[in-house]
C-alpha cells in the first residue's frame, strides 16, 4: 500500500470490453462444439420435443438440412442418435445392427452430405433399440449381461463404421467396451475409425428430457452400470481404463455437475477430453430464460465457458450451431 492506495490493481485488466477480450483465459471456438441430432424414421415432418424447446426429432430430409447448416456454421461435428419405431424394438436391439436401420441409414445420409466438412459421429448403445430400454442385453434374472452386450457392441461398431461413421460414441458403460469395439473395428479393416469413450458417465437425474428425445422405454434404472454421482475417483479410474483399452477421446457426462471430473480427467490422461452438456442442463436454462429469471444468451455462453475452463477440449451441446453463429458474428 502507498499513501493509502493499493499498489496492485487487478481491475485494470477488466476496464473495457476490448481489454477483457484480450486477456480472456478461456475461449470457445465453433470447431470445439458438437451438435447432437435425433433422427426418426416413422415421421413425415420434424417432431418438436416438449421438454427441449428448439430441439426436434428429424426426418431424413430435415436431417440433411440440419447437417448442412451445422457445416456452414463451422462446428466440429454432429453426434447422431437413431429413434426406431416401437415395432422395431426387441430385447436384443436387433435394429441397431440392421444396415437399413434408422441410425445406420441416417449415418450414410450424413456422411454423403457433409462427411468432408464435419466429423460424423454415432451413438453406440442399445437403449434406443431395446424394448426394455436398457443399454445392453438382459440376463435371465433381468440384470444387464455385460459380456453378452459386448458382442452386440462389436457388431454395432462394424455396421456404423460401414455406414460412414468416423467416430463411435461408446455410451453404454459396459466393462471392456472400448477394447471389444477396438478389436472388432481393427479385425474388419476399420483401423482409422476413432473411439469416443463415454468414460465417466453418471447415473444422473439430468437425462430426463433425453428420454423423450429417443422414445425411451426404460424400466428400472441404470445404476448398476452408470456411475454413482457421489464417486469422484471412480470416474477418473474409468477414464484411465478406457484410455488403456484404446480410446482416442474420453467423455465426462453430464458436464456442469461434474466439472471436477472434467478437470481430474484432463489432468490425468494423454488423449482429448470432451464433455456432454446434457438435455437437463439445456432444459433448465431454456425454462429459466422463458420465465424471465435469467439472461438466456449470457447463461448459455457462461455455461459453455465453464466447461471449457474446467478442461474440456470439445463440448457436445444442443446450442452448438446457435453459439457458433453468434461467435462468428462477434
Q: Which of 89, 223, 253, 328 is catalytic?
A: 253
Q: Which of 89, 201, 223, 328 is catalytic?
A: 201
Task: For residues 266 and 274, give the distance between their C-alpha atoms in angstroms, rounded to a whole number.
Answer: 9
Continuous H helices in 55-168: 60-73, 102-114, 146-163
Task: For residues 130 and 84, give the distance between their C-alpha atoms in angstroms, rounded to a whole number.
Answer: 10
- Check if 328 is active-site: no
- Check if 89 is active-site: no
Report DSSP state, residue 38.
E
What is each CA distance from 280 to 40, 80, 204, 207, 310, in whole angstroms? 21, 18, 9, 6, 20
Residue 244 CB coordination number (10 Å): 11
Task: For residues 214 and 11, give the distance between their C-alpha atoms in angstroms, rounded to a whole number.
Answer: 48
- Whether the bond into 254 is cis, omega within 30 of 0: yes
Active-site residues: which are they? 201, 253
Amino acid at each position: 500500500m502507498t499513501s493509502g492506495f493499493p499498489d496492485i490493481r487487478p481491475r485494470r485488466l477488466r476496464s473495457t470490453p476490448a481489454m477483457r477480450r484480450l486477456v480472456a483465459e478461456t475461449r470457445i471456438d465453433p470447431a470445439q462444439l458438437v451438435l447432437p441430432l435425433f433422427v426418426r424414421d416413422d415421421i413425415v415432418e420434424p417432431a418438436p420435443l416438449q421438454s427441449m424447446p428448439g430441439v426436434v426429432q428429424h426426418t431424413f430430409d430435415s436431417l440433411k438440412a440440419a447437417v448442412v447448416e451445422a457445416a456452414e456454421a463451422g462446428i466440429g461435428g454432429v453426434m447422431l442418435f437413431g429413434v426406431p419405431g416401437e415395432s422395431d424394438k426387441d430385447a436384443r436391439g436387433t435394429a441397431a445392427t440392421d444396415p437399413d436401420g434408422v441410425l445406420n441409414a441416417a449415418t450414410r445420409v450424413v456422411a454423403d452430405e457433409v462427411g468432408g466438412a464435419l466429423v460424423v459421429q454415432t451413438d453406440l448403445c442399445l437403449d434406443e433399440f431395446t424394448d426394455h430400454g436398457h443399454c445392453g442385453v438382459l440376463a435371465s434374472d433381468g440384470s444387464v449381461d455385460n459380456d453378452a452386450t459386448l458382442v452386440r457392441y462389436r457388431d454395432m461398431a462394424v455396421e456404423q463404421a460401414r455406414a460412414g461413421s468416423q467416430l463411435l460414441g461408446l455410451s453404454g458403460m459396459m466393462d471392456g467396451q472400448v477394447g471389444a469395439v477396438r478389436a472388432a473395428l481393427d479385425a474388419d479393416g476399420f483401423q482409422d475409425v476413432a473411439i469416443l469413450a463415454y468414460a465417466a458417465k453418471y447415473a444422473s437425474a439430468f437425462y430426463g428430457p433425453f428420454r423423450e428425445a429417443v422414445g425411451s422405454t426404460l424400466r428400472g434404472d441404470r445404476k448398476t452400470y452408470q456411475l454413482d454421482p457421489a464417486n469422484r475417483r471412480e470416474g477418473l479410474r474409468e477414464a484411465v481404463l478406457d484410455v488403456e483399452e484404446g480410446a482416442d477421446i474420453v467423455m465426462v457426462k453430464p458436464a456442469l455437475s461434474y466439472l471436477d471430473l472434467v478437470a481430474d480427467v484432463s489432468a490425468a490422461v494423454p488423449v482429448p477430453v470432451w464433455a456432454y452438456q446434457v438435455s437437463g442442463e439445456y432444459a433448465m436454462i431454456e425454462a429459466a430464460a422463458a420465465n424471465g429469471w435469467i439472461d438466456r444468451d449470457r447463461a448459455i455462453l457462461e455455461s459453455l465457458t465453464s466447461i471449457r475452463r474446467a478442461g474440456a477440449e470439445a463440448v457436445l451441446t444442443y446450442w452448438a450451431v446457435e453459439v457458433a453463429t453468434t461467435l462468428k458474428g462477434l
